[in-house]
A and B are shown apart, each in its own frame.
Chain A
Amino acid sequence: EVQLVESGGGLVQPGGSLRLSCAASGFTFSSYWMSWVRQAPGKGLEWVANIKQDGSEKYYVDSVKGRFTISRDNAKNSLYLQMNSLRAEDTAVYYCARGEYSSSDFDYWGQGTLVTVSS
């Protein structure tokens, strides 16, 4: 059974940093592109970043470029999102999601982890 389990969310002050993790199991993690998708409270979905199977390609939505870094450790079946210079508008539930290709649907999602940026 495919499972994606996020962790690392919490309350952080504006300008602060946080590192999210996503533990994957039930599939060959190293064979898939992985993404982070976020959802602000009561709002819709926004793709944040994705990373190629071997980590050699990474892409970001404009609003997080230069502040967020996506990475992965295939030996640990884990995906990460390092978030720096956090802003109030980054407050959201962050989901990790699996995609087969660089441009594909997201067939499995984690349960999400809440990041709240507030003083």
Chain B
Amino acid sequence: EIVMTQSPATLSVSPGERATLSCRASQSVSSNLAWYQQKPGQAPRLLIYGASTRATGIPARFSGSGSGTEFTLTISSLQSEDFAVYYCQQYNNWYTFGQGTKLEIK
């Protein structure tokens, strides 16, 4: 099983600032990596797939990068609606998710 490790567990950032979230895979997943946003009481929403492609309707302030085992989600200028939990997911070998990064208001 491919283990996905996200860091940090919690990230405190002020609105308008940049947030950088990390995800590491225990073995290469190529570019088969997605990022999801989840708000309390809601289902996850797809943000990024293929490591760097924004899903339909996702604002340009969200960007993804990386390949192999190291990935990054960057939110360039945080808006109030961006504070949520973010999960990475690999789909190269079945499906596994990271444990999540909670992005909170500083």
B-contacting residues of A (Cβ < 8 Å)? 35, 37, 44-47, 59, 61, 95, 99, 103-112
- Establish whether residues B91 and A103, one from each chain, have CB atoms under 8 Å apart when the complex forms: yes
Instruction: Using CB atoms, name the residue of chain B closest to A50.
Output: B95
A-B residue pair count with CB separations less than 8 angstroms: 54
A-contacting residues of B (Cβ < 8 Å)? 32, 34, 36, 42-46, 49-50, 55-56, 87, 89, 91-100
Chain A residues with CB under 8 A of B50: 105
- Establish whether residues B94 and A59, one from each chain, have CB atoms under 8 Å apart when the complex forms: yes
Question: Considering the chains assembled together, what is the distance between the CA atoms of A73 and B99 in angstroms?
Answer: 33
What's the dominant secondary structure at chain B's contact region? Answer: loop
- Establish whether residues A106 and B87, one from each chain, have CB atoms under 8 Å apart when the complex forms: no
Chain B residues with CB under 8 A of A110: 43
What's the dominant secondary structure at chain A's contact region? Answer: strand
Q: Quick one: which of B32, B44, B55, B91 contacts A45, CB cutoff 8 A?
A: B44
- Establish whether residues A44 and B100, one from each chain, have CB atoms under 8 Å apart when the complex forms: yes
Question: Considering the chains assembled together, what is the distance between the CA atoms of A110 and B89 in angstroms?
Answer: 18
